[in-house]
Amino acid sequence: MTQETQHLPAKIFNTGKSDYDFPEIILGQDLGLFDTINKFYPEIWKLYKTLKNQDWDENEFDYSSCNVQFKTCDKHTYDMMVKTLAWQWEADSVASRSIAAILAPVCTSSEAWSGWVEITKNEIVHAATYSEIVRNSFDNPDDILNEILSVQEALSRLKVVTEVFNTAFEVSYDYARDRRPNDQETYNAIYMFIVGLLCMERIQFMASFAVTFGICDGTGLFQPIGKAIQKIAQDEFEVHVQYGKEVLRAMYKTDRGRTAFEQCKDKIAQMVNEVTQSEVEWTDYAFSEGRELTGVTCQMMKDWVYFSATDVARFFGIEDQMEFPIIDENPLKYMENWLNMSKVQASNQEEDTAQYKVGVMKRDDHDEVFDVDF
């Protein structure tokens, strides 16, 4: 080893890294060689490969028919579609530039870093897709862009998670500049960012997709937009959400991960409650001023929010701290046609601990086939 190599900055290339057989996902030893020899997190790597293999492009869809339909549909359908697109575009814009940026200084696992980079690339495609939808569906897209940015109710939906994102951003870069120690407080801030990302993707994105698909399903309009957003929804539902859960499970198997959960449990419950409440308030707004969805009531859409939030609450084992109804049955059957819901089964963060109420039920459904397996 040369003298120059010995003095490489550890945060850029850690020549003294010794934990290749068990790297912590965040805030372990700084990264050295990119390691595919030791795969300590095979499920994380598998999800990374799944997302990489289903890469797609934002220009795969022809929105010319949507241009005509936006001009001819009734005002309430127009408003609901545009307001929903507003939040989806804004949220994916946030995700596309936050995930890798926040985690770059603190991620210490080659496997986890691969997944987060791929998810970031995927979020760029998602954000670009919404931009292309607007560019191709309206004669004056700049006017629609301004209209989208003026929907304060959409921006307010981002308040809870963006505050957590902003805190994590500051903590991450203070750590990178040696202004913050590698202690439990620092770990907890990054942990809460991962939790916040899960809440955004599992609760908020799913609530928004349900409106888009409800319009497409109930009116027959905007099918190219529906198909494009279906690909986005499948990415989020089948990979991003499962990735976040798998990371949190892996973190829980470490001392600092378990400590983070115990110390942040009340904050997690508060976040899930606040995110859920913001989606309920958005639903009331979406269905106000005469806006409606064919075959879908405001209460059904709220129940879908509760259904999505129940999955997150159950994952963390915090159902008793929830301020909303726990709903186990999908209230929007049309979502089964837009998402492969049977592919994903909810499970607790850590299957091996009684704290998460594992083992209190016995399976008696062997050889049974269900449409939805949550």
Backbone angles phi, psi at 53, to 5 degrees: -75, -20
The three-state secondary structure class of 107 is: strand
Single pTM value for the model: 0.88
By mean pLDDT, which of 36-40, 193-197, 312-316 is the weakest?
36-40
Tokens 């508060």 identify what position?
Answer: 270
Domains of the chain, first to last = 8-356 (1.10.620.20)
- Give 273-315 as a DSSP string: HHHHHHHHHHHHHHT-TT--BTTB-HHHHHHHHHHHHHHHHHH
- Give 37-77 as a DSSP string: SS-S-HHHHHHHHHHHHT---TTSS--HHHHHHHHHS-HHH
For a pLDDT cut of 70, what percent of the chain falls above it? 89
**pLDDT at 5 > cutoff 80:** no
pLDDT for position 20: 82
Structure tokens at 99: 């995930």
The pLDDT tens digits of the residues spanning 263-295 come to 999 999 999 999 999 999 999 999 999 998 999
pLDDT for position 168: 98
The pLDDT tens digits of the residues spanning 298-319 come to 999 999 999 999 999 999 999 9
- Residue 173 CB contacts under 8 Å (≥ 6 apart), including other chains: 105
pLDDT for position 354: 25
For a pLDDT cut of 90, what percent of the chain falls above it? 75
Which candidate, 47, 137, 129, 54, places its Cα nearest to that of 96?
A: 129
**CA torsion sign, 171 to 176 to 177 to 182?**
positive
**pLDDT at 342 > cutoff 70:** no
pLDDT for position 148: 76
pLDDT for position 365: 44
pLDDT for position 149: 79
